[in-house]
Structure 1
């Protein structure tokens, strides 16, 4: 599973402006909606919030991987957001989050969904990968960085 096959420049937002976790999740859901990946912004946002209420998807090292499954999703999708200021995401390490990969999939069993989450988790463990993403100046350069590290 390659992130670059799912992630297109229009699904990358390098200047997230939200100041708290709920608003950044809303902003990321908006990226998926504007990209035509979900049918309803509000309904998918509710799914993401419900998932987040179970346990944080802030996995540490400045990374969050919020995700959700819903009938609102048209196909397995991925969006990337960068918050250069960092934000409190209630991460497991208590540190701010700078990089957010949001995964959306249709309801039901999907081995590709799990493979995608696994691939993201593997890549973000690399310090140089995270540092490179934070220096990306355009959506295309962020995508090129991902392709280089895959």
Structure 2
């Protein structure tokens, strides 16, 4: 998987109805039920929930990245959802997650997996970026914000390489 960016996000749920992390994973995963990237939908959901049980994926800053590297996926998938009241994903800062990125990663995809988690982590540390995602009115606006952040990341990477 080369050069993943925010434009690769498959679906966006503007408002999750889930109140628990299990329900949030299931609600986001439902967007992928008919996706050709999923070999075995039920196994994918079970793998994500098992991964979440072993090590919660709340990363702080009101964000969570529930995910699994699994053979039930044949191509990387990401679904984004927003939870107005937040959902407890066991974050170290104890804040409930309001920005949730569900990731499905093929078992063999180690480098890409780390690339995506790094990009998400760096981007979501930016308070203005998080606030824009929380305030966006619809899927189109959320996608524009994500693509805009992707462009900023590219520019930042070019500057870093140019000065190295």
Can you give the 5+ residue segments of structure 1 that lack an aligned partner in the other structure? none
| Equivalenced residues, count | 148
2:46 aligns to what SS in structure 1? helix
15-24 vs 84-93, greater mean Cα deviation:
84-93
1: CA distance, partners of 2:77 / 2:119: 14
Q: How many Å apart are 1:39 and its aligned residue?
A: 2.8
2: CA distance, partners of 1:34 / 1:140: 22
2:25 is aligned with 1:5 = no
Q: How many Å apart are 1:120 and its aligned residue?
A: 0.4
Pairing 1:31-70 to 2, within 5 Å after superposition: 31-70=31-70
2: CA distance, partners of 1:111 / 1:87: 29
Q: How many Å apart are 1:37 and its aligned residue?
A: 3.1
Change (3 A) 1:35 1:138: farther
Match of 2:155 in 1: none
Change (3 A) 1:39 1:109: closer
Match of 1:95 in 2: 95
Match of 2:76 in 1: 76
31-40 vs 62-71, greater mean Cα deviation:
31-40
2:142 is aligned with 1:146 = no
Q: TM-score if structure 1 supplies the norm length?
A: 0.91
Q: How many Å apart are 1:19 and its aligned residue?
A: 1.1
Q: TM-score if structure 2 supplies the norm length?
A: 0.83
Match of 2:114 in 1: 114
List structure 1 runs of 4+ shifted beyond 6 angstroms.
Answer: none
2: CA distance, partners of 1:40 / 1:140: 29
Deviations 1:5-41 (A, max 9, x none): 3114xx1111110111111111111122244432332
RMSD, matched Cα: 1.5
Can you give the 5+ residue segments of structure 2 that lack an aligned partner in the other structure? 151-164
2: CA distance, partners of 1:117 / 1:33: 23
